[in-house]
Amino acid sequence: MSQTTPPSLSPARFSVSPGAAARITEIISQQPSSDGLALRVSVLAGGCNGFQYQFKLDSARAADDVVIERNGAVVLVDPVSLDLLEGAELEYVDKLMGAHFTIANPNAASSCGCGTSFSLA
């Protein structure tokens, strides 16, 4: 009997930087119940530019979620969001004005100042 493996993602489609992976691992390790927790990355309609990124901890995995693993960190992306993240990379930025996850998205024609929303060409 063969087992079905969850969909995986090649680095060319969507990737996770080493810094983002380290921060995800750190955040999850600080949770009271970290079993099965992953960072879910979604693209939602809204924001000041038409689409916005959403980052949240999630232990529920849908059958069609794409699972990205890097250095012990697990990131989940739904197929609809994945289409808008083609070629993008999840990064963690720690600067004077604050620390946050961000996405370097080559598909974004413009984005807001905080980097959480974007528009397509």
In eight-state DSSP terms, residue 5 is: P
Q: Output the pLDDT for position 117.
A: 55
Q: pLDDT tens, 11-43?
A: 458 999 999 999 999 999 999 988 889 999 999
Q: pLDDT tens, 33-69?
A: 888 899 999 998 876 667 888 999 999 999 999 999 9
Distance CA 18, CA 96 (A): 20
Q: Pick the residue with more confidence: 46 or 73?
A: 73
What does the block give as tokens for 74? 């697990």
Residue pair 105/53 in contact by the 8 Å Cβ criterion:
no
What contacts 3, CB < 8 A, 6 or more positions away?
none
> What is the pLDDT confidence band of residue 9, given thresholds at 50, 70 and 90?
very low
Distance of CA 94 to the CA centre of its chain: 17
pTM (two decimals)? 0.80
N-term to C-term CA, the chain: 46
